Structure 1
């Protein structure tokens, strides 16, 4: 081998000396010859031509050519017709080595011919080595070791190794590798083909590997990966991304320092269709009592392993009609253990139903430097970057992670109702279990999926503390919030994000709903202890949602329609039930002048209805929105959408604020004048009575009591006013009669009957109340829009003030009895006063 190398070098040196003289045209001339005894073949051919490049040719013996093949025993003189041949041509140097009949050339492989003797072209060196079936060939790569890359990837320095093996006459691609990795050795059964690609400017003289002969490994290949510190390696099965050879075995051996821990993650895999046996992976782990540990490709793979270990991929006998594809891409991560790796947490989900807990990495920006992995280990050995815990069992988990803030947790729970008779009016508290909160990773989302029978029941969400809706005008600045989204059969409806500290007392949803507790800071656990959310199954209603709002004077309340920035769904209707304290006034303001909505079919309306007076104001949402309006009593805001033109959407944001109620000056003046007149009347009446009594005492003796059983006490001019008064029975009436005059005849009317005085009664207000939202107009109704301004009122609207604690019912002026027993405080017919 050494003699052959020396002979080739001397020959080429002589050739280059002969070709030193430059031929006409300025291009360098080359003369290459190969001895007959060598197994080296040189091929110069066109490479990938750059776009717009000037033509370039090989000039061989005065003839233009696109390729040049130099075989053993040939001598060729050539030159290029351009100054940059490296942009147009490549050179391949292939050497065949037969170890079946001759001893293999062991040791480090030198590049032959020497790089400096070849034209400055991109070079490919190929070694095709054949060995016996009972022999394996071992390739040892000196530093830097190799790193495997996938199909379509390239190496930064342009230096690439392709390593192939053989199964009989079939060539198998073991992998493509770059420098600076962890792969130190590759053993191949029977034969190996090594391809080294070098850029034209690389001047190395060695191949970077050495070869030796070993005994049979009884498998396709054996790859060794050596870690000297923390790091990771990504490796692939043979022929990746195509199918692994049928019923073959491939092994990776990992050398890990004793103070580090290794974890395996399968990044991508596929199973073929097995006719016999079963595809699997096997681990030989130090200290394991069950070696080999067998896993399916779909299983969680081992982690937190100390020391060296082996991983093997075993194929199966595939179905001839439909073989499928077996392939595997995996990562081995090696890192230092941390304190959390020695702590085990127990998560008890044995009493939970329809609940799952997923621990996974939170999204981070990609980094080129090594980043230690975060693994969740089940029973300390089965580790992965993602772990899902199912309900009905107890789980023991630990963490292999340098920074637990890189992980978070998402939980899903389903609460469903199948029998509306059983679920009606039942309530459930939406709380996070303690076993979830005690884990050292952040809870990101806890989602409750609430399911109800269609068109049978609806849902009511009632928080322990009133909620605030997150809007651009008022952000939710809290450690957690509730995201509420309807999940009906049609279009999903996002009601919004809500946090504690607002005015919303209740959210009612027509159909299925997804409630998600989303956290933003570790302090959410303390805040969550003061907040709870209760869901109740209530009778079905047809609106998409109903919000119950109780504002206060501390801050303004901002409310917006569901599906903000996407638009309220077509033909959907939403209502807000807004409470107003008796001594305050609410101001309703819309934060834009018009919606920009254009209806394709139907009409879009907004109804504002006073619940006490039932007075309605109806506005078309295709027109200008109403100005700010004041409301003295509880009122409804109902918004109903049409089917809008494509690209148009209905989004409304409005504000409710409270102020103290102020009395009108006219009312104050009337009250003052009326009060003064009443006071003067009372004083005059007292003076008259005092004078009358004095005169009686001076002129007459004491009054005489007379019993009269036939006196009629009805007042004249009021016949049959009180049908329930007993006027014909024998009840006795006592009267005090002054002996100076008899005035009984003054009590008779023209018909001879007597008028009985009416007595006024006071009753507290029991006016109309409203618990249901106003009925929204049908979207396809052709009834013309009725629009009332704030200056107009409904015909039956009677403005009243909460400062009036009593209401007065006046009798009808019709003759006869109408069943009304209300008695007026002041009557139009007053009894005549008598006196001197």
Structure 2
């Protein structure tokens, strides 16, 4: 028949969908299709009553034999009823059984479904396949066994036998025998539904002498108990505290030598809300390892707000047996992963054939609750030594740094300058630091950094996480030379500020945070680039345009030299990014983002290179020649003035007054010199030349003055400014304005290079002959002219 059409059982041209044949009956039938195995299954049910008579103990036969049955999927069912005080035992010859979950299937199609009985209630013990470790199952008060055989398998034996046993006083006992290394996964009765209320179930494990066994719970639930307590009990050879009682949430025993028992005990459940008790666990049997006899002490008693987890690395699953890796506390409580809490001391041993299959992750929180106490305090971000002496690799160590909102910010200072990981210059070290914001809704990843760069300090606005990530086993040697210190500093508005001192030999590559996803909306980041006095910095951007389209607000980049305060403002949405430019002084680069439209992002990459500062030879020659000519002119002028002074000294009393109380600082300007003029002696003169006193007489015919040079300009060598340039308002639509580097700020008066001296004539008040001035030269009577 065509596929998809119904198939029927035909008896004398009559069609049936099912057929029941009782004992002693004979019926002839056929099928209306060519593939009846896809439509029908034959069930052979046999009831055995051990309450009214003797049980047919021994090997169970397949009756009728499979050879006389149609080639259909066959299911043999044996239902054995027994008294409550009678125990029945199912014995399985080779191959032994392997328990499977409710959604699993057997590779060869042969399935054993075993159930027990509590009064009139049937309890499912489990479903099993071939090629496992289960050798016997003991039950009380009867058993129901169903053997499913596929239609293509020619098998004439059941593979099990029934034996009589004394009362076991529990629901069932499952025996699991190991002949070598291996593992077994077993489940509680009725799994994944609830274990029967107030019942007891036991597993017996037979372990060869040279091997060790470890138990780990894969999945479990506990019910709501009114009386007693749900628990597991172990009978372990050599234990002085048998039975050893554990809660289901406890770490289970490991590294056990010899046979042992594991029992699951239920409780009296709450009638209104009983809950579900269930358990799925694994027993791993393997050879003892060298590390199993070594104990490591980890002292975390002085640590606070820290947790350490030792767990397996992610690996690909393999069908071959793989010995397990267990971490044991106090040599008996073992698990595939262990979490160590701060404030305590721990003893650890390992049951693992290859410790590289394990790694360690840790997390610590440093928080500031009172900004008055935390301000200016520093803490070292170091891994505790006890963790580094463990024989497993440290994968991640994360520090969560928390500060009061709008009160404090964070500054990270490395012992060795850091390099930002970029595609142009990737980190090739054994460890690195990853930094990201932990503020809810602030998806800001600052980047990955390693030692060997030019970043001296990183300042973060709010809460962040710093994660030390290792890549090579030798990271411990490199880590000893690296230290990261965090300080609590006054709050600032930038999301992050990077202090950079470029290397004279290498390019310094820098990129905006969130490189893969783009700088978050309305975020701002600054770089403080220090340029040595004998160097010139070249600033280069990777792209000509950002391709940014703003939905709200504007995106700007500001480049500001710290010495001249000249700002160059660029619209990142409209303008072309600057070509490579040379910077002779330290400068700021500030980038502020808008709210971009969907699909657009702001990501900028730039680099800084240093070259030695050179002086133009032509300019130097002109300056020398010009300076010499000016010197000769000044000497001649002084001689002329002295002669003229001697001729006109009798024309009146003119005294030069030096006033040292004059304010030498420009208004509204910060003091840029480390040492003020009142603190040094550059304004003190032993002798004041006549030309200084009578400078007003040097006026030439066209009314201009020849003023002598009274001071020499020296380049500023003091500290650079700390604050980054303030960006324009984000939502401003004002046109972009560029200022030349040599153009002063419009609201700052120009600095004067002349010395602040005051020259005046002495004056007398009317009716008074008192002289209030301080003469600097002796007064001589004028000579009378010869007649």
Consecutive unaligned residues in structure 1, runs of 5 or more: 1-24, 26-50, 690-705, 726-731, 737-743, 799-806, 818-836
> Matched residue of 1:454: which SS?
coil
Instruction: Show the counterpart of 1:403.
Output: 354
Matched, 1:568 2:512: no
Matched, 1:306 2:276: no
Instruction: Show the counterpart of 1:450.
Output: 401
Matched, 1:671 2:619: no
| Root-mean-square deviation over aligned CA pairs | 3.1
Alpha-carbon offset, residue 762 of structure 1: 3.0
Instruction: Show the counterpart of 1:318.
Output: 269
Instruction: Show the counterpart of 2:680.
Output: none
Conserved? CA contact 2:710–2:755, under 8 Å: no
Instruction: Show the counterpart of 1:773.
Output: 724
Q: Deviations over 1:520-550 (max 9, x none)?
A: 1111111111110000000001111000011
Instruction: Show the counterpart of 2:744.
Output: 796
Instruction: Show the counterpart of 1:643.
Output: 595
Alpha-carbon offset, residue 488 of structure 1: 1.4
Instruction: Show the counterpart of 2:769.
Output: none
Q: How far apart in 1 are the matches of 2:253 and 2:425? A: 49
Instruction: Show the counterpart of 2:9.
Output: 58
Instruction: Show the counterpart of 2:453.
Output: 502
Q: How far apart in 2 are the matches of 1:275 and 1:249? A: 17
Instruction: Show the counterpart of 1:538.
Output: 489
Change (3 A) 1:500 1:735: closer
Alpha-carbon offset, residue 812 of structure 1: 9.7
Q: How far apart in 1 are the matches of 2:401 and 2:438? A: 9
Q: How far apart in 2 are the matches of 1:199 and 1:724? A: 114
Conserved? CA contact 2:711–2:753, under 8 Å: no
Consecutive unaligned residues in structure 2, runs of 5 or more: 640-645, 662-685, 762-787
Alignment of 1:530-609 (within 5 A): 530-609=481-560
2:155 maps to which of 185, 199, 204? 204
Q: How far apart in 2 are the matches of 1:420 and 1:378? A: 40
Alignment of 1:83-482 (within 5 A): 83-482=34-433
> Matched residue of 2:173: which SS?
strand
Conserved? CA contact 1:762–1:808, under 8 Å: no
Matched, 1:761 2:711: yes
Instruction: Show the counterpart of 2:604.
Output: 652
Q: How far apart in 2 are the matches of 1:409 and 1:114? A: 59
Instruction: Show the counterpart of 1:695.
Output: none
The higher relative CO (CA closer than 8 Å, separation ≥ 6) is in 2
Q: How far apart in 1 are the matches of 2:58 and 2:548? A: 81
TM-score by structure 1 length? 0.81
Alpha-carbon offset, residue 553 of structure 1: 2.0
Change (3 A) 1:680 1:133: same
Conserved? CA contact 1:356–1:388, under 8 Å: yes
Q: Deviations over 1:144-191 (max 9, x none)?
A: 111111011101111111111111111111111111111110011111
Change (3 A) 1:724 1:182: closer
Conserved? CA contact 2:412–2:486, under 8 Å: yes
Alpha-carbon offset, residue 551 of structure 1: 0.4
Change (3 A) 1:748 1:355: closer
Q: How far apart in 2 are the matches of 1:234 and 1:263? A: 12
> Matched residue of 2:476: which SS?
helix
Alpha-carbon offset, residue 711 of structure 1: 9.7
Matched, 1:625 2:577: yes
Alpha-carbon offset, residue 620 of structure 1: 1.5
Q: How far apart in 2 are the matches of 1:432 and 1:734? A: 68
Conserved? CA contact 1:231–1:335, under 8 Å: yes
Alpha-carbon offset, residue 749 of structure 1: 8.7
**Structure 1 runs, 4 residues or longer, greater than 6 Å off:** 678-682, 708-713, 732-736, 746-750, 811-817
> Matched residue of 2:503: which SS?
coil
1:518 maps to which of 469, 479, 482? 469
Alpha-carbon offset, residue 84 of structure 1: 1.8
Instruction: Show the counterpart of 2:779.
Output: none
Change (3 A) 1:492 1:431: same
Q: Deviations over 1:238-290 (max 9, x none)?
A: 11111111111000000001111111000010011111111000000011111
Alpha-carbon offset, residue 52 of structure 1: 4.8
> Matched residue of 1:69: which SS?
coil
Q: How far apart in 2 are the matches of 1:93 and 1:300? A: 46
Q: How far apart in 1 are the matches of 2:358 and 2:544? A: 46
Q: Deviations over 1:672-711 (max 9, x none)?
A: 54256469879x989x99xxxxxxxxxxxxxxxx9x9989
Conserved? CA contact 1:270–1:327, under 8 Å: yes
